[in-house]
A = this chain, B = another copy of it.
Amino acid sequence: MEVRVSRKEHFNAAHKLSNPAWSKEKNLEIFGPCANENWHGHNYDLIVTVAGRPDPDTGFVVDLKRLSDLIRREVTDKVDHKNLNVDVDFMHGVMPSTENLAVEFWKILQPKISAISRFGKLHSIRLYETPLNYVEYFGA
């Protein structure tokens, strides 16, 4: 029996999209206003989903307090009120598109779920850049 359990967290950050191999003109042509050199920013919503069978002692796939603490300590505390291009170690050299952020969050969280859940594994990362735009990643 498998149940999926999801926890939503949020963070606010600045970024810009800019390929260092391209001219300023090409970056503006491809990325439009997202390439604004003085940055822009977003309120991001992050939904982390863990799948597994409920522990018979607790009825939990994963304790959501512990999942929330893990996401905050390992991910959102490192990006909240930060510049994603400049301030975040694990984004150095990575274009801060929503796609790439979700993949990096997966890499950080996937190995750490077993420490907080006997039967659960990371199932997906859903990341909203705006209420109209979001991405999902399910691992390689």
Q: Which residues of A line the B interface, CB within 8 A?
A: 1-10, 12-15, 17, 19, 21, 30-34, 36, 38-43, 54, 57-61, 63-65, 80-83, 86-87, 94-100, 102-103, 130-138, 140
Q: Interface centre among A41, A57, A58, by most B CB within 10 Å?
A: A41
- Pairs A–B under 8 Å by Cβ, sample size 23: A1-B103, A3-B99, A3-B103, A3-B137, A6-B133, A6-B135, A8-B131, A12-B42, A12-B130, A14-B14, A14-B38, A14-B39, A19-B58, A31-B58, A33-B80, A40-B41, A40-B80, A54-B100, A58-B95, A58-B97, A59-B94, A59-B100, A61-B135
Contact A36 B83 (CB under 8 A): yes
With A19-B57, A31-B58, A87-B36 as given contacts, are A6 and B41 in contact (CB-CB < 8 Å)? no
**Besides A4-B136, A38-B83, A58-B95, 6 other CB < 8 A contacts?**
A21-B57, A40-B80, A43-B130, A54-B97, A59-B95, A59-B97
Q: In the complex, are the beta carbons of A36 and B82 less than 8 A apart?
A: yes
